[in-house]
Structure 1
Amino acid sequence: MSEEKAAPQSAVVIKKYANRRLYNTSTSTYVTLDDLSAMVKSGTDFLVYDAKTGEDITRSVLTQIIFEEENKGTNLLPINFLRQLIRFYGDSMQAFVPGYLEFSLENLGKEQEKFRSQLLEAWGGDALKAMQDTAQRNMAMFGDAMKVFNPFAAAMGGAVPGAPAPGKPAQQGSASGSRDDLQALKDQLAAMQQKLDTLTNK
Structure 2
Amino acid sequence: MSESQTSAKAPITIKKYANRRLYNTATSSYVTLDHLSQMVKDGDDFVVYDAKTGEDITRSVLTQIIVEEESKGGQNLLPISFLRQLIGFYGDSLGGLVPRYLEYSMQAFSHNEQQMRDYMRNALEGMFPFGPFEDMGKKNMAFMESAMKMFSPFYPHGADGSSPKVEDLQASVSALQKQIDQLTKKK
TM norm. shorter chain > 0.5: yes
Q: Which of the pair has the greater relative contact order for Cα pairs under 8 Å at 6+ separation?
A: 2
Paired-residue identity, %: 64
Query: What is the match of residue 116 of structure 1?
Result: 117
Q: Residues 13-42 of structure 1, C-alpha deviation per residue, up to 9 Å, x if partnerless?
A: 000000000000000000000000000000
Aligned length: 120
- 2:86 aligns with 85
Deviation at 1:82, TM superposition (A): 0.3
Which consecutive unaligned segments of at least 5 residues does structure 1 have?
Answer: 1-7, 125-129, 132-202
Match of 1:58 in 2: 58
1:88 maps to a residue whose letter is: F
| DSSP-derived class of the 1:13 partner | strand
Cα distance between partner residues in 2 of 1:121 and 1:59? 37
Quote the residue 2:11 is aligned against: 11
Aligned equivalent of 2:48: 48
1:30 aligns with 2:30: yes
Instruction: Look up the match of 2:135.
Output: none
Aligned counterparts of 1:65 and 1:109: Cα–Cα separation in 2: 20
Q: Tell me by how many angstroms 1:115 deviates.
A: 0.4
Judged with a 3 Å threshold, the aligned counterparts in structure 2 of structure 1 residues 121 and 20 are, in CA distance, closer, same or farther, namely same
What is the alpha-carbon distance in structure 2 between the residues aligned to residue 78 and residue 123 of structure 1?
A: 35
Write the distance in 1 (CA, Å) between the matches of 2:16 and 2:123. Answer: 46
TM superposition shift of 1:10: 1.4
The verdict on how the C-alpha distance between 1:123 and 1:10 changes in structure 2, with shifts beyond 3 A counting, is farther
Q: State the distance in 2 between where 1:11 and 1:123 align.
A: 40
Determine the C-alpha separation between the residues in 1 that align with 2:111 and 2:12: 25
For residue 106 of structure 1, give the secondary structure of its aligned residue in structure 2.
Answer: helix
Return the offset for 1:123.
Answer: 4.1
TM-score (norm 1): 0.57
Once residues 58 and 111 of structure 2 are traced to their aligned partners in structure 1, the CA distance between those partners, rounded to angstroms, is 25
SS state of the match for residue 96, structure 2?
A: helix
1:1-202 equivalence runs, <5 A:
10-73=10-73, 74-123=75-124, 130=126
Separation in structure 2 between the aligned mates of residue 80 and residue 122 of structure 1, nearest angstrom: 36
What TM-score results when the alignment is normalised by the length of structure 2? Answer: 0.61
Query: Counterpart amino acid of 1:64?
Result: Q
Q: Give 1:77 shift.
A: 0.1
In 2, Cα distance between the equivalents of 1:122 and 1:9? 36
Letter of the 1:29 partner, please give it: S
Structure 1 pair 68/118, CA: closer, same or farther in 2 (3 Å)? same
- With over 3 angstroms needed to count, the CA separation of the structure-2 counterparts of 1:100 and 1:26, relative to structure 1, is same
Counterpart position of 1:172: none
